[in-house]
Structure formats: structure tokens, C-alpha cells
């Protein structure tokens, strides 16, 4: 028993040295706190926004695109994101353009001089990141996009967009910067004097811009903020913006689902993040035609977590950089996928063999599921490691259930026999490949395991005194074991054992 106490002490001590929170992938965002605005104090009622001037480049006439990532504190409210409108003090609305959100829907207004507007693209009334975009072309089409998908299209009636003498405003009503303030976060604010295509909207959601793209007239990435009263426009038009009413609390590290430098260098980027209410859509599934699709449940995950992925553009199969001990006739997809990860997310990965081939030769689809292996490496200079065995294969779809993705590069391999796996938590062969999520929890959590062969797994839960408070066993072929335990608040150690392989994890139970 002394030995167990000592083990628990070491585990708990190590746990205290590590942060529970993930680091952001990088970059900054704008944030306005509704509680600071509403609550009594020195900052009560102070409006905050960007004033970006009235240069000729923002007096747009024939076509426009307005887009941004937004995470509103109260999505149901009427809030204005960006625009340029001179309403004569509110008496006459007949010129300019504006993008807002109203009643959890995209709500743009464009004056030609009649008001052309719509209210479409439902966002569940929870505080989540969404990418919104609107495009308009005179005598052509008027479109709205939510998270890269077109949600509205109508004819663009009337003549040119009417110019005015007002400033371009970001973060509040452009015609009267006292009302309809944006409460929450903004990132990657972009305005173009051309209508972007559906492909351009989707392909650039998760990427930074160079700033010299044709038609770009305003680009606020927030990343270049230096703490002064001016935020520089990164477009070639240099429509720099004054920060009105802001302080150091308004530019913060960004949690926007956005690719890091390595991922942005890849092709065909997609993202999976918790952008809707769990009762409306669970699991979240992002299907692609590039060979890798992801799905993840909201329940049991970090609600702020996301993963963004893109591929290297390769086609066919390859035998390069396989693990040194790969089985006979091993081969992998020449295509690999790089990821950006924020938070604690454990999605299901599904590879489609035909799509992953990219028009070249495809991996065979006639092997047992256990012969298909997930490969992982840090970058292209390394040899891949075999880290997980497929849960199932159905036709061309090879699935890996509940795999905790990291910021790595991944590929799919197959051979005549199963690969020797490197554990999810350690390369030690005596370590069981497993993960517990969420952690902390309220007593409801999930244990996911990976083993190279069917085996019984023994599970024990110990309190901080080393006393066993729960025990069970299950077949590793089940792979996922949900727990819903009525445990007192505190710290515990979960131990899973399969043969000689073990897994130990500190878990925290918070108040129910």
C-alpha cells in the first residue's frame, strides 16, 4: 500500500506542475466584454470600435465582399460588425454598406440607394466562432456565407452602391457609433472591392493573407497590434484604423479556428470546431473530398477546442519514410495531412481510400481493419511512427475512433500484417495507448484505448488516499468506455491494465 501511496503522490505532484489549459496556436483577436460595458465601474457604457477613415478605396461601388470570424457573447442581439453608412443622423438611410448579425442570422444591408438586405444563415444562440461573409455585385448576385457554406442567394437589383462621406467603422453601427456594438470577439476582418467566389471564400477561411491580394481594401488581422492607438491595415491600401475607447483588454490572444504556419502551407484546408449547440448537431462532422474527414462529439470535449487540417497535394501511394519495422508489403498514402490543434479534442478520423489517392493509385480496401494504421510524424524530415490501428473498414472508408490528434503530420498505411504501434502516451511497449476526456469532469468522462490485439482491459479508480473507489473490466475491442460516476469533488487516479501494459491518468472531479 505504501508503494501505491507513493505512486499517487508522484502523479498528483506532476499534475500540479502542468497547466490544464492549452496554448493558443498564435495570433490576436479583438474582444469587447459586455459585462464591463453593463456593470458599474470606470468603463461602464464606454463604446469600443475601430474608425478606419474615408479613403477612396473604401468608397466601393460595383462589387463588395465583407468577411470576418466572429464569436458573439449574445448572438441573438442586433449587432453591427462593419460598414460605411451616412444616415444623416438616422433620418435617411440611402447610401453605403454594412454587415451585421441579428437574431442569430447574418444581416447585411447595401444601399443602391434602396436598401437591399437579408437575414439568413442560422447560428445557434450560443457563444461560438463562426465565419461570416457577404458578397454583392451590381446587376448580378447577392450572397451570404456561414462557415464557408453559401446560405443565401438573391438577385442584386438596382444600380451602384452609393458613396458617402462617412468613415468606415468596425465593431459598432457605422451611422451612429453609439449603438449596436459588437460584444464578443472579431478576427480576420476583410473588405474587398470585388465579389469573392464561393471557392475563394471557403479556401481562405483558415489562412492569413499577404495583404496584396487583388481587390483587398481593408485587412485587420489583429496580429500586428502594438498597443498604440492605431491598428494598421495590412492591405496595400493602408486604411489604418483608430481604436476608439479601447484599452489593453480589447486585443487578446486569439482562439479563432485558424491554421498555423505549417498547416496554412498545405492545400484544401478544413476545420472542425464546436460551432453549434450540442442538442442541434452532435456529433460535429466535417466531410471532405481530399481523403480525410473528421467527426467529434461536443459532450466529453473541450468546448473551445478545434482542429484545422490540410494536405500536401500528393497523389497515389508511397513506401518512403515508413516505420523501420513496417510489416511486409507496407505502403502508405503519398498524401499526408498537417494539423493545427487548440484545446483537448479527440475526434474520429475517417480516410476515404479513393479520395486520399488524389487521382493516383489507391491503397487496397481488402485487408482486415487491424492492418490499416495511422502514421504520425512531426515534419517531412522525419520517419513516420505507427500510432493507431483502424477501428473498422467499410468499402473505401477506414475509420479510427476517438483519436487525440496533435499538431503533427498524418498519413494512412496498410500492410500484410498489423504494424507495431507506438503508444498514444509513450513509446514504451509497457504503456497502454489510452486517453481520458474530458478532464476535469463532473464525474462523467470517457476512457478510449488502442491495443494491437483484442485483450481484456482492467480499470481501477483510486482516491487521493490510494483507496480503490471503482473497478471494472471490458474488452479492448469496445475501445471506448463511458463512465458516469457519482464521485465526491477531488483528485483521483485512473489505472487501466491490459496484460503487462498499463496506463495511469490523474483526473479531477469538479462540483456536479
pLDDT of residue 282: 60
Radius of gyration of the chain (CA): 26
Name the pTM for this structure: 0.82
Half-sphere exposure for 351 (CA within 13 Å, toward CB): 31
Give the confidence band of 430 by pLDDT, cuts at 50, 70, 90. low
Q: What percent of the chain has pLDDT over 90?
A: 64
CA 198 to chain centre: 20
> pLDDT tens across 162-209, in order?
999 999 999 999 999 999 999 999 999 999 999 999 999 999 999 999
364 torsion bin: left (phi>0), alpha (psi -120 to 50), beta (else): beta
Residue pLDDT, tens place only, 277-295: 555 556 788 999 999 999 9
Which residues have CB under 8 Å from 403's CB, separation 6+?
A: 346, 347, 348, 349, 374, 388, 424, 450
Question: Is the confidence at residue 9, as pLDDT, over 60?
Answer: no
pLDDT digits (tens, 9 = 90+) for 66-84: 999 999 999 889 999 999 9
SS3 per-residue string spanning 280-320 = CCCCEEECCCCCEEEEECCCCCCCCCEEEEEECCCCCEECC
Instruction: Dig out the grid coordinates for 384 from the structure.
Output: 513516420
**What's the full length of the chain, in residues?**
512
| CA dist., res. 424 & res. 452, Å (int) | 12
Strand intervals (E) in 204-297: 216-220, 230-231, 241-244, 251-253, 267-273, 284-286, 292-296
Bridge partners (DSSP) listed for residue 458: 473, 497
Q: Is 476 buried (19+), middle (13-18) or exposed (0-12) by CB count in 10 A?
A: buried
Give the separation between CA 215 and CA 235, rounded to whole angstroms: 9
Q: Is 73 helix (H, G, I), strand (E, B) or coil?
A: coil
* 105-129 pLDDT tens trace: 999 999 999 999 999 999 888 888 9
What whole-number distance in Å separates Cα of residue 438 and Cα of residue 446? 7
Amino acid at each position: 500500500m505504501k508503494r501505491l501511496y507513493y505512486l499517487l503522490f508522484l502523479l498528483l505532484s506532476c499534475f500540479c506542475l502542468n497547466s490544464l489549459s492549452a496554448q493558443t496556436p498564435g495570433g490576436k483577436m479583438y474582444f469587447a466584454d459586455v459585462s464591463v460595458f453593463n456593470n458599474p465601474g470606470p468603463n461602464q457604457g464606454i463604446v469600443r470600435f475601430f474608425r478606419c477613415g474615408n479613403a477612396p478605396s473604401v468608397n466601393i461601388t460595383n462589387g463588395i465582399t465583407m468577411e470576418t470570424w466572429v464569436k458573439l457573447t449574445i448572438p441573438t442581439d442586433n449587432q453591427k460588425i462593419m460598414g460605411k453608412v451616412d444616415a444623416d443622423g438616422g433620418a435617411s438611410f440611402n447610401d453605403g454598406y454594412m454587415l451585421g448579425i441579428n437574431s442569430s442570422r447574418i444581416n447585411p444591408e447595401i444601399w443602391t440607394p434602396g436598401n437591399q438586405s437579408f437575414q439568413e444563415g442560422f447560428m445557434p444562440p450560443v457563444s461560438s466562432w463562426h465565419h461570416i461573409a457577404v458578397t454583392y455585385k451590381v446587376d448580378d448576385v447577392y450572397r451570404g456565407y456561414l462557415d464557408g457554406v453559401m446560405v443565401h442567394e438573391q438577385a442584386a437589383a438596382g444600380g451602384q452602391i452609393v458613396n458617402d462621406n462617412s468613415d468606415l467603422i468596425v465593431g459598432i453601427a457605422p451611422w451612429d457609433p453609439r449603438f449596436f456594438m459588437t460584444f464578443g470577439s472579431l478576427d480576420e476582418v476583410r473588405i474587398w472591392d470585388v465579389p469573392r467566389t464561393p471557392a475563394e471564400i471557403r479556401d481562405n477561411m483558415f489562412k492569413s493573407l499577404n495583404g496584396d491580394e487583388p481587390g483587398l481594401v481593408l485587412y485587420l488581422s489583429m496580429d500586428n497590434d502594438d498597443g498604440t492607438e492605431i491598428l494598421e491595415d495590412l492591405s496595400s491600401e493602408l486604411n489604418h484604423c483608430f481604436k476608439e475607447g479601447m484599452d489593453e483588454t480589447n486585443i487578446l490572444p486569439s482562439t479563432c479556428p485558424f491554421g498555423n504556419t505549417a498547416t496554412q502551407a498545405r492545400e484544401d484546408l478544413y476545420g472542425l470546431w464546436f460551432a453549434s449547440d450540442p442538442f442541434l448537431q452532435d456529433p460535429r462532422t466535417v466531410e471532405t473530398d481530399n481523403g480525410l474527414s473528421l467527426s467529434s462529439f461536443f459532450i466529453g470535449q473541450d468546448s473551445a477546442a478545434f482542429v484545422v487540417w490540410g494536405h500536401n497535394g500528393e497523389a497515389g501511394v508511397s513506401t518512403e519514410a515508413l516505420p523501420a519495422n513496417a510489416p511486409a508489403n507496407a505502403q502508405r498514402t503519398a498524401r499526408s495531412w498537417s494539423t493545427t490543434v487548440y484545446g483537448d479534442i479527440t475526434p474520429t478520423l475517417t480516410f476515404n481510400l479513393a479520395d486520399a489517392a488524389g487521382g493516383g493509385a489507391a491503397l487496397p480496401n481488402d485487408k482486415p481493419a487491424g492492418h490499416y494504421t495511422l502514421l504520425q510524424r512531426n515534419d517531412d524530415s522525419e520517419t513516420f511512427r505507427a500510432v493507431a490501428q483502424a477501428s473498422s473498414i467499410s468499402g473505401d472508408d477506414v475509420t479510427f475512433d476517438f483519436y487525440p490528434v496533435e499538431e503533427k503530420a498524418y498519413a494512412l498505411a496498410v500492410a500484410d500484417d498489423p504494424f507495431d504501434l507506438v503508444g498514444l502516451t509513450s513509446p514504451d511497449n509497457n504503456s497502454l495507448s489510452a486517453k481520458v476526456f474530458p478532464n476535469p469532469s463532473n464525474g462523467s468522462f470517457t476512457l478510449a484505448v488502442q491495443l494491437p490485439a483484442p485483450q481484456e482491459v482492467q480499470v481501477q479508480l483510486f482516491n487521493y488516499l490510494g483507496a480503490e473507489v471503482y473497478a471494472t473490466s471490458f474488452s479492448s475491442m469496445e475501445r471506448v468506455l463511458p463512465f458516469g460516476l457519482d464521485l465526491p469533488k477531488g483528485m483521483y487516479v485512473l489505472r487501466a491494465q491490459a496484460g503487462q501494459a498499463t496506463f495511469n491518468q490523474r483526473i479531477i472531479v469538479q462540483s456536479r
